[in-house]
Amino acid sequence: MDFAAFLHALPIPILQAPMVGASSPEMAVAVSKAGGLGALGAGGLAPADIAPAVAALRAATDRPFGVNLFINPVAAPGAEVVDAALERLAPWYAELGAPLPAQPNDYAPDFEGQFAALVRAAPAVASFTFSILTKAQVDALHAAGCYVVGTATTVAEARAWAAVGADGISAQGAEAGGHRGHFLAETQASLVGTMALVATIRAAVDIPVIAAGGIMDGRGVAAALALGADAVQMGTAFLLADQTVISAPWRGALKTAGDDPTRLTRAFTGRHARGIENRFMREMREVEDEVPAYPVQNRLTQPLRAAAAKAGDAQMLSLWAGQGVRLAKVGDAGEDGQPLVGGGQAGLPGPRRTGGPLERDSLKWTPVQATVTLQENMGERQWRRLTWPPYRPPPATPGSSPCRWWRSPPPGPAARPTVRR
């Protein structure tokens, strides 16, 4: 089975984002059992801990799941760089009454060791972010029976992943919460909106595309599928799920986010990431370009964030969240009626609800059905003004062409009048 068929066979075309520090093995199991694809964020695990974690997931469900790793650079900062970074952080540690940490001996788990453990564990899907694998590494995962998914924020990055043999692309739009996955583009150049990114990557590569960023419910899922995505990846939508392991102040900030802005910052980790703006982000803004690159700054702020969580202070926490955070809902991630995964499929075409194949190349089926289901989430006026995806009827006579775009009314007991413009 190729990866497109694998994705189309999912009863619900939703992948749970592997959020280190937020998602949990229990969440991955719940999402997979509900018909989506759960994922384990293993970027922070030691190599020796990966095999037991995957084994525990296999014991909990016979459904497929994914495992994600960060492709971390080898961190070897000079002592003076670390001292300067700690000096900037000293007032924040002092405010919490926490001791300033000493210079660490290491900054992140060994990626080569993690990768070897992942190959041995052989989950159904192995996904990666922050950089790109070699073709030999992709081949090793294929030999172990894994599908390989790479994160891309631009068309160039998607083409690079396709060139090394990846099975699919996770197209991370600018709306996404947490760390940016760019590796070829500069940060600003990587900030392409999800819908534009999906459409352009879909036109550039011949492998499945997974839309990620800002998708919170069935409306976003249907829109992404209509633009050519094979599935979607949702992270922020699951942050208030029962199975998350986020701290109480982070959870509270999510519940009260409302119109609070999210923005990108390097201040917490040394790599741009999107979160709810707080005092640490604001006051570190002038110096955030000077902090050492990930994973060094990430390691230096870990004790600070732990102390802030213990003290209940959300102003010194990395409150990662995407631009759709105000739509996040409390509930179970997958079981007991599937309130989150099931809610994400509420606006989907019928065949995907029952696990039927999605005809990716059928322009008549996918966009029209997606639009029909979008209508369920819109008022009459909004629906009438919606003009995509256009449907052009056959010419009335040979050689003629229609002068207008038309769309037939949706099927169902309450069919609406034909929409014209």
What is the pLDDT, as a whole number, of residue 344?
Answer: 52
Categorize the per-residue pLDDT at 88 as very low, low, confident or very high, splitting at 50, 70 and 90.
very high
Check residue 339 and give its pLDDT.
44
CA atoms of 261 and 321, how far apart (whole Å): 10
3-state secondary structure labels for all residues of 192-255: CCHHHHHHHHHHHCCCCEEEECCCCCHHHHHHHHHCCCCEEEECHHHCCECCCCCCHHHHHHHH
Higher-confidence residue of 349 and 211: namely: 211
- Mean pLDDT calculated for residue range 203-222: 96
Strand 125-129 with 147-152, pairing: parallel
Q: What is the mean pLDDT of residues 89-108?
A: 96
Joined tokens for residue 42: 């293993």
> 383 and 375 in contact (C-beta within 8 Å)?
yes
Lowest mean per-residue pLDDT among 28-32, 288-292, 367-371: 367-371
Question: Which two tokens mark 11?
Answer: 């009863």
Q: Which of the two residues, 240 and 342, has the higher pLDDT score? A: 240
Q: Is the pLDDT assigned to residue 52 strictly greater than 70?
A: yes
Overall average pLDDT of the 44-48 stretch: 97
Identify the residue with better confidence: 347 or 329: 329
**Closest by Cα among 183, 208, 217 to 339:** 217
Whether the per-residue pLDDT at 416 is higher than 60: the answer is: no
Q: Is the pTM of this model over 0.75?
A: yes
- Kindly list the domain boundaries of the chain, sorted by start residue: 3-72+108-257+321-353, 366-372+379-420
Neighbours of 419 (CB within 10 A): 17
List, as own/partner pairs, every contact residues 142-146 make where C-beta atoms lie below 8 angstroms and the sequence separation is at least 24, other chains included.
Answer: 144/119, 144/120, 146/118, 146/119, 146/122
**Binning pLDDT at 50, 70 and 90, where does residue 337 land?**
very low
Q: Decide which of 411 and 44 is more confident.
A: 44
Q: Give mean pLDDT, residues 148-166.
A: 99
Mean per-residue pLDDT for 332-356? 49
Given a cut of 80, whether residue 59 has pLDDT beyond it is yes
Q: Are 55 and 276 in contact (CB under 8 A)?
A: no
Q: Rounded to whole angstroms, how far apart are CA atoms 330 and 219?
A: 18
**pLDDT value at 317 more than 80:** yes
Report in angstroms the alpha-carbon separations of 130 from 91, 365, 403: 30, 35, 48
Does the pLDDT at position 330 exceed 60?
A: yes
Q: What is the mean pLDDT of the chain?
A: 84
The three-class DSSP label of residue 75 is coil
Banded model confidence at residue 389, pLDDT cuts 50, 70, 90: very low
Higher pLDDT, 369 or 138: 138
CATH class for the region spanning 3-72+108-257+321-353: alpha beta
Cβ neighbour number for residue 101 with a 10 Å cutoff: 16
